[in-house]
């Protein structure tokens, strides 16, 4: 299972989401106030998870987050998705 910290955030709040895993990469989708959001891991050159593409920051535009992306995602979820 991937995106464990992000999934825990949703589970703690009993917030509905859809999780999918393919080729060892996690994908999480959810709706908030009528808008659809996504968090999709993408691989590095060796196929290991390296970052995520998400539209959490701007619902109409995706952007990439690398590094400790789960921490960054949870900070955004705490700030804007209550």
- What is the per-residue pLDDT for 82? 76
Beta pairing, strands 49-54 & 63-66: antiparallel
Reported as a pLDDT band with limits 50, 70 and 90, residue 5 is very high
- What is the per-residue pLDDT for 61? 94
- Quick one: average pLDDT of 1-18? 96
pLDDT tens-digit series, residues 17-70: 999 999 999 999 999 999 999 999 999 888 777 899 999 999 889 999 999 999
- Other beta carbons less than 10 A from residue 52's beta carbon: 27
Can you list the alpha helix ranges (DSSP code H) found in the chain? Answer: 4-12, 69-80
Reported as a pLDDT band with limits 50, 70 and 90, residue 11 is very high
Q: What is the CA radius of gyration of the chain?
A: 12
- What is the per-residue pLDDT for 77? 96
Q: Note the pTM of the prediction, 2 decimals.
A: 0.90
49, 48, 47, 44: which is closest to 69 by C-alpha?
Answer: 49
């Amino acid at each position: 299972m991937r995106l464990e910290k992000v999934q825990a955030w949703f589970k703690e709040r009993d917030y509905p989401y859809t999780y999918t895993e393919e080729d060892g990469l996690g994908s999480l989708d959810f709706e908030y106030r009528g808008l659809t959001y996504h968090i999709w891991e993408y691989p590095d050159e060796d196929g290991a998870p390296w970052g995520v593409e998400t539209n959490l920051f701007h619902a109409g535009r995706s952007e990439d987050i690398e590094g400790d992306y789960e921490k960054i995602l949870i900070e955004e979820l705490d700030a804007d998705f209550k």
